[in-house]
Structure 1
Amino acid sequence: MSLFVYGTLKPGEFFYSRYCEAHLISAQAAIVRGLLFALPLGYPALAAGSDWVQGYLLHLKSDALEAIDELEDYDPTRAAGDNEYERIEVEVFDLAQNSIGKAWTYRMELKRILTLRGHWLPNGMWTGNAESIEF
């Protein structure tokens, strides 16, 4: 299973060791198209857009997906508006902007991001501080 991560699930970030590390097959730095926002809650949100957003393409064992869906407050049986994030398939690129295939990622509606008072990260890169994460 391929998953593009841009926030707390990236290698070195708060939730990587808990949700990804034991399931990891491979990882590489990668980019996708979108808009990246930092939320006051201590984690980022990806919205639809045409900017480059930096993260990692993780190849994980498929048994990791259920726990990650729960972390991201995504349930495929709920209506889209009832999920915090939607899990969608996106095209992923290497750092030279060459397509390297499709992967799942979690995207939030811009309206929800604005309601949560997210602020745009024009460089397309987020890094967190473990002390600021609440769960």
Structure 2
Amino acid sequence: MSVSELPFFVYGTLRPGEVNHGLLLHGRTLAEEPARLRGAVLYDGPGYPYAVEESGGLVTGDLVTALPRFYERLLADLDRLEEYRPGDPRNLYERVAREVLPGGAGRPVRAWVYVAAPGVAARLRTHGEPIPGGEWRGRGGTVR
């Protein structure tokens, strides 16, 4: 698997049972399993969360593996949802490769994670509201 074909770690509206999962992931995944991301804190956003890279934090989410025939299109759809454009200073999120821990006590897996872009992360650290326990599920997401 090349770096461009990594699975995705999702922690907000893309998780199973949340609004964007049904719109973008349903029927396009090979596997979905609980997972955790270390070194990040989850902050409440306007209807969706932001993972901000900070030592000592832990974010709960899911590791999603795309069906190979949908991978390229799914990657483009997720980048569009997260308003991520490589190198654009106006990004709200950055797509980065990070180690995540599958829930089944397996070895760490490298995955794509959408984390808060630097300017957003700085504002959240100063004025944001961290989500206790790093679990966003059930907070009522919005479609973007």
Q: Where do 4+ consecutive residues of structure 1 move more than 6 Å?
A: none
Which residue matches 2:124? 113
The question of whether the paired residues in 2 share the 8 Å contact of 1:87 and 1:105 is answered with yes
Equivalences for residues 67-82 of structure 1 within 5 A: 67-76=77-86, 78-79=87-88, 81-82=89-90
Q: CA deviation at 1:112?
A: 4.0
Q: TM-score, normalised by structure 1?
A: 0.85
Size of the aligned set, in residue pairs, is 129
Q: CA deviation at 1:11?
A: 0.3
Identity across aligned pairs (percent)? 30
Q: For 2:143 and 2:125, how far apart are their aligned partners in 1?
A: 20
Q: For 2:143 and 2:20, how far apart are their aligned partners in 1?
A: 11
Which residue matches 2:59? 53
Structure 2: gaps spanning 5 or more residues = none
More helix by share: 2
The question of whether the paired residues in 2 share the 8 Å contact of 1:91 and 1:99 is answered with no
Structure 1: gaps spanning 5 or more residues = none
SS of the equivalent of 1:46 reads strand
SS of the equivalent of 1:18 reads helix
Q: For 1:112 and 1:83, how far apart are their aligned partners in 2?
A: 14
Q: CA deviation at 1:21?
A: 1.0
Q: TM-score, normalised by structure 2?
A: 0.80
Q: For 2:76 and 2:124, how far apart are their aligned partners in 1?
A: 24
Q: For 1:25 and 1:44, how far apart are their aligned partners in 2?
A: 25
User: Given residue 58 of structure 2, which amino acid in structure 1 is its aligned partner?
Assistant: W
Aligned residue among 34, 47, 58 for 1:29: 34
The question of whether the paired residues in 2 share the 8 Å contact of 1:90 and 1:105 is answered with yes
Q: CA deviation at 1:98?
A: 4.5
Instruction: Call closer, same or farther: CA 1:20–1:97 in 2, change over 3 Å.
Output: same
Matched, 1:65 2:71: no
Aligned residue among 97, 101, 104 for 1:93: 101
The question of whether the paired residues in 1 share the 8 Å contact of 2:33 and 2:103 is answered with no
The question of whether the paired residues in 1 share the 8 Å contact of 2:102 and 2:109 is answered with no
Instruction: Call closer, same or farther: CA 1:90–1:75 in 2, change over 3 Å.
Output: same
Instruction: Call closer, same or farther: CA 1:112–1:60 in 2, change over 3 Å.
Output: farther
